[in-house]
Amino acid sequence: MQHQHIYNKDGKQLCCTEEEKIYTNAGAKSLIEEGHNNHEKGDNHNHSQEESYSIWQQYQPAIISFIMLLVGITFDNYIIQDYFTGYMRLAWYVVAYMPVGFPVINEAFETLKKGDFFTEFTLMVLATVGAFSIGEYPEGVAVMLFYAIGELFQSAAVNRAKSNIKALLDVRPNIANILRGGIFEAIKPEDVEIGDTIQVRSGEKVPLDSQMLSGKSSFNTAALTGESKPKTISKDEIVLAGMLNLDKVIELKVIKKFADSSLARILDMVQNATARKAQTELLIRRFAKIYTPIVFFLALALVGIPYFVVGNYVFSEWLYRALVFLVISCPCALVISIPLGYFGGIGAASRHGILFKGSNYLELMTKINTVVMDKTGTLTEGVFEVQEVVSSVLEKMELVKILAALERQSTHPIAKAIAEYAKNDTSQYQASEVEEISGHGLKGIVNGKTALAGNTKLLQKFNIPYDPTIDDIVETIVVIAIDNQYVGYVLIADKIKEDAVIAIKEMHQNGIKQTIMLSGDKNAITQKIAKLIGIDTAFGDLLPEGKVQKLEALKQDKTKVIAFVGDGINDAPVLALSDVGIAMGAMGSDAAIETANVVIQTDQPSKIATAIKIGKATKNIVIQNIILAFAVKFIVLILGAGGLATMWEAVFADVGVALLAILNAVRIQRMNF
């Protein structure tokens, strides 16, 4: 049975079961899973107990083996006795070996069944069983024990690296309080339809992308954008799923289904990010597949060849050297620490509101030397306001209302500004047969008359004469023609983003040699903004295909690694064409976000430099780990082959180096960018 909470319009609960009353306070968890609710007292306590028990189970084998190994070594070296010998001694160390050894033996067996012999599991089993065969029982147990401890530390490090993403997954809202018959009842967000009215109380998460119906409220957007400062959202503005309502009971109108919400897209991107591997990561994986069989056969050669060239050949001595060689050669330090480094980088980026769709793009960010940017919505706020209405033919408000009837068919920020200026009073004007002429504007029928609204190129396209002095206006204007007659224009103003200047400066400081702005806006205003911000080169009056042509021309220079930053539907082709496509995610179009490789949830251009910094820091850590692993392994391999390194040095070269590499990899999550 599915339980439902019922509320009135003020957010007060009307009825519920005794069991459900526990969960009515703001911030209480609603456990909706697999299509049904499962509310039970003490879930958190039970979960905590289960988690503690799970950790104990995870570490228990290593603890048992460690204690038994210490007891065995004590009897071997510090207690004079005659019973801890022979089969008794062997049995003790076998029992000490099995808690940590059995899982590895099982893994080795499973990989052997799949035809994969050369794995780290096989190497560890051969090395430790070999140590037992020549009587080195403590060392055989120690190698497997420290290998198991290394795996535990690796697991802990991976869990730590996942913590940012787990925190992001935790913002998923569990219920939506939907208005039905004058009351609000709780249902799954997946069941809410576009246009439904939902209620969000103080301390609750917004379940779906919506439009604010109430006056205003303050929201914590940290889970989506990484921005700790609360954001105030007013009536008719957009509220995104995952935002936390901080103030009062509010009502919202749903504008997207849950599967299409910003939150759902973010979760999908982050969860699938690790599927796209960086070139360094792929190279190491390929290297490990070649490297492991080579060292295995070298170990065999280390046992066999000396028989023919060494006068006083002792099999057990050379077998010991070969076993040391096998332990040292295990590639786990590289195989685990490098993916962990990239995963940590993706996690660090998500904490700053930057979502990478794969570690390959994290690596590619370090190579970018040219950043090409859209203007509106990327470097400017994209929040336009009507500043002036000019017409010598019609009354100003009549012109605005005719224009607004047409522009209501568009989602462009300028169209929204005009519709807002008309104050929704367009009842006497109806637009039909509206079509968008890409890069020019809109054409439609308003009250039986043909109306055109857009830039001056639109009038030129239809050979409609207009006042040539308007070509000298730097600001953005929308010209209007009715029945092939120019009737006036509306002047629109946009605002440069607060961090735009800092963004360009930091890009140059982080290795970007050239910044370029491409805009469909008038070239005069494009050049003006470029100069104010500090852009190196700017091009205006560009149609969508013009942006593509400019980027294709830039790509002719093979020395350029290009990132394009945009937010609009028209930017999707350029985002796809660039080496790294970066979309502004908070207000960006779905097409831009889907096409991009990197999404900036805060809509701040300064995050571009942050993404580059994180990419470079990640790459540095990966290179450090590669050098550390190869250097130590090479030195100890030489010493082991020469009989100068024992199994204990081999353990350090394998497990010790892996632990150092892991600790270095997780460092990125503590860095400030």
Q: Which residues are annotated as catalytic?
A: 374
CB 178 within 8 A of CB 2: no
Secondary structure class of 36 (helix, strand, coil): strand
Token pair for 40: 């039970």
The alpha helices in 170-226, defined as continuous H runs, are 222-225
Q: On the CB side of 95, how many CA atoms lie within 13 Å of its CA?
A: 11
Secondary structure class of 82 (helix, strand, coil): coil
HEC profile of 282-320: HHHHHHHHHHHHHHHHHHHHHHHCHHHHCCCCCHHHHHH
Cα–Cα distance measured from residue 673 to residue 670, given in angstroms and rounded to the nearest whole number:
10
Secondary structure class of 168 (helix, strand, coil): helix
Q: What are phi and psi of 542, to 5 degrees?
A: -100, 130
Contact residues for 180 (Cβ-Cβ < 8 A; gap 6+): none
Contact residues for 202 (Cβ-Cβ < 8 A; gap 6+): 26, 245, 246, 247, 248, 249
The DSSP bridge partners found for residue 13 are 7
The DSSP bridge partners found for residue 450 are 445
Q: Look at residues 231, 178, 184, 236 and name the one whose alpha carbon lies nearest to residue 207.
A: 178
Q: Look at residues 265, 248, 213 and name the one whose alpha carbon lies nearest to residue 234.
A: 213
Cα–Cα distance measured from residue 219 to residue 237, given in angstroms and rounded to the nearest whole number:
13
Q: How far apart are the first and last CA of the chain?
A: 49
302 CB-contact burial (10 Å; exposed 0-12 / middle 13-18 / buried 19+): buried
Token pair for 585: 């995610």
